[in-house]
Amino acid sequence: LIELEDGVRGSIVEIGPRASRLRTNDNVNIIVPNSKLIEDRVTNWTLKGDTRRIHVPFSVAYGADRAQVRDAVLAAARASPFTLPETESRKSQVWLVGFGESGLDFELLVWPTQAAVKRPAGMHAAYTWLIADALDASGIEVPFPQTDLRLRSIFGREGDEALAALGLQRPATAAPETPPSPPRRTTNDAAEELLDPPPGTATADGDERP
């Protein structure tokens, strides 16, 4: 799998005297001048080694138990069939990388199989779905954009006093919501892209597996 400087990714399936044919995972054939392959930067994701580490970002609401977030996401990633077994130098990790406007920003660092690396879009989508399922199963809230509004009058009043001065009332407290039902099992369509098909069947990029 190679990536051109303009972000196009795919596998070289034909090399000609002036141009080469690159096929993406969506089975789109792109003619690339050989001069572009020589002069521009080309990243080969599968030249050496069987995998590479990827970063999958996700966020949770403020107040979430960070240890619970880490444990839930790591357990899901390690149980995935498209995650390589861990070694001393190749471990799945969860990093807290920032404090967002609405929640805590994390990244899952994981080593996928070579078959998954060759399908980058499906790989990212599959892990994102996997993370969402893990958070749902653990009752961990995903953040949504919100704004806290503090009302203060020109006379220095605030809260109920400011509302009364404006002739307004505090909104009635909403009735408690019905407890949510247990999360149901979801179907991760992207994960199917990453699993090796049986011999003799066509892969997602249109090639037949030997």
Within 10 angstroms of residue 130's Cβ, the number of other Cβ atoms is: 24
Round to whole Å and give the CA distance between 207 and 20.
17
**What's the pTM value of the predicted model, to 2 decimals?**
0.66
- The residue type found at 164 is A
Same domain, 68 and 27: no
Same domain, 40 and 110: no
What tokens were used for 93?
């990790």
Same domain, 32 and 80: no
Same domain, 150 and 56: yes
Domain count, the chain: 2
Identify the domain containing residue 93 by its residue range.
47-167
Residue 96 located in a structural domain: yes
Same domain, 6 and 22: yes
Residue 106 located in a structural domain: yes
pLDDT in tens, the chain (210 residues): 888 988 888 888 999 999 999 988 778 899 999 998 888 999 887 777 767 899 999 999 999 999 999 999 999 999 999 999 999 888 999 999 999 988 999 999 999 998 888 888 899 999 999 999 999 999 999 988 777 766 665 566 676 777 777 777 776 666 556 555 655 656 777 777 667 554 444 444 444 444
Same domain, 40 and 52: no
Same domain, 24 and 100: no
Contacts with 164 (C-beta within 8 Å, 6 or more apart), sequence order: none
Q: Which CATH number belongs to the domain containing residue 27 in this structure?
A: 2.30.30
